[in-house]
């Protein structure tokens, strides 16, 4: 169990005051999530649930991942009524019944009497969630994403590296300039189009990842992402961009600009043991979990069957550096 050498009552007061005055500071939000994860690794699931519920009640916007984990924790401590309350909140935050049914750990809830009630409320909760979204911005971002996908496929099917580089210079460069200018305008007027605003975080993060990976020559000479970077970091503090998404986006750039010689966050390629310290330095600067904490969470996932939705899945699964 994490310990700061303070009486529990004082810790409670300090935590309460911090949340009371910093409900819009998502740097603190992600620090609080790390505390939850520390409790999970010590298998103190009741305290982990208590901490994550404090986060949920203290912020107007909560990332869906936290609702998902909270519901699992409630079931883990055998509090089914609370698990259903959290499932309702997760549906109101964009989690579909279809997706919930795929979660093996939550399977016991689907046979409970409360499940039928949840199904009845589903449509209304979905509508309530959609009403919170910026649907116009969602359509604009979707169009940008589709355009980006077409460009990526055209680049991919160029035969030979020289042909790819020519295409990148002739077609991708002006395309990237247009996309980044559009994103700059969107952020300044409406905010970063991620989960909070449009419920589709992967659209813009994919665009930015492609920007940082499509061509070695292009990425090494690019200045657009560096100019955009301060706005992306600010979007993290506002809860518009998840820092783990940013780490994935920037990992591409680190790999290409250093000819894969410089250590990144470790979400695209497995880190060697000697690279973990450098990766942890980057992670600490961004406010995301250390490699060691991630590896401990992987152990708990395997032991309990819970899913903590660790970043890098599909690229880097399981433990890092082992």
For 111-159, the pLDDT digits (tens) are: 988 999 899 888 888 888 888 999 999 999 999 999 999 998 998 888 8
pLDDT in tens, 264-289: 999 988 899 999 999 999 999 999 99
CA–CA distance, 86 with 72 (Å, rounded to integer): 9
**pLDDT at res. 18:** 45
**pLDDT at res. 173:** 87
Average pLDDT over residues 163-180: 89
Residue 286: alpha-carbon gap to chain centroid = 13
Positive or negative torsion for Cα 101, 104, 106, 109: positive
Contact by Cβ (8 Å): 70, 53: yes
Contact by Cβ (8 Å): 272, 262: no
The pair of structure tokens assigned to 161 is 């590296």
pLDDT in tens, 64-100: 999 999 999 999 999 999 999 999 999 999 999 999 9
Give the burial class of 133: count Cβ atoms within 10 A of its Cβ; 0-12 exposed, 13-18 middle, 19 or more buried. Answer: middle
Could you report how far apart the first and last alpha carbons of the chain are, in Å?
A: 24
pLDDT range class, residue 214, cuts 50, 70, 90: confident
Give, in order, the Cα–Cα distances in Å from 214 to each of 159, 225, 290.
14, 13, 28
């Amino acid at each position: 169990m994490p310990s700061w050498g303070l009486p529990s009552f004082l810790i409670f007061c300090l935590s309460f005051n911090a949340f009371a005055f910093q409900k819009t500071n998502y740097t603190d939000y992600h620090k609080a999530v790390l505390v939850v994860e520390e409790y999970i690794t010590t298998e103190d699931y009741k305290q982990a649930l208590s901490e994550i519920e404090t986060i949920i009640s203290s912020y107007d916007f909560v990332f869906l991942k936290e609702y998902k984990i909270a519901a699992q924790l409630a079931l883990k401590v055998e509090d089914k009524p609370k698990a259903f309350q959290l499932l309702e909140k997760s549906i109101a935050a964009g989690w579909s019944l279809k997706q919930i049914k795929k979660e093996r750990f939550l399977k016991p809830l689907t046979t409970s009497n409360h499940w039928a009630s949840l199904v009845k409320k589903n449509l209304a909760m979905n509508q309530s969630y959609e009403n919170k979204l910026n649907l116009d911005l969602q359509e604009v971002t979707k169009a940008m994403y589709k355009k980006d996908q077409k460009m990526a496929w055209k680049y991919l099917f160029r035969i030979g590296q020289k042909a790819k580089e020519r295409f990148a210079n002739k077609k991708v460069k002006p395309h990237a300039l247009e996309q980044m200018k559009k994103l700059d305008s969107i952020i300044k007027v409406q905010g970063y189009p991620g989960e909070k605003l449009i419920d589709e975080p992967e659209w813009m993060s994919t665009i930015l990842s492609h920007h940082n990976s499509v061509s070695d020559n292009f990425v090494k000479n690019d200045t657009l992402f560096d100019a955009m970077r301060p706005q992306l970091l600010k979007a993290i503090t506002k809860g518009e961009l998840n820092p783990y998404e940013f780490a994935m986006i920037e990992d591409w750039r680190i790999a290409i600009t250093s000819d894969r010689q410089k250590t990144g966050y470790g979400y695209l390629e497995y880190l060697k043991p000697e690279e973990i310290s450098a990766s942890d330095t980057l992670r600490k600067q961004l406010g995301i979990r250390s490699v060691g904490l991630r590896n401990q969470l992987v152990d708990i996932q395997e032991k309990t069957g819970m899913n903590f939705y660790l970043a890098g899945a599909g690229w880097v699964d399981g433990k890092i550096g082992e």
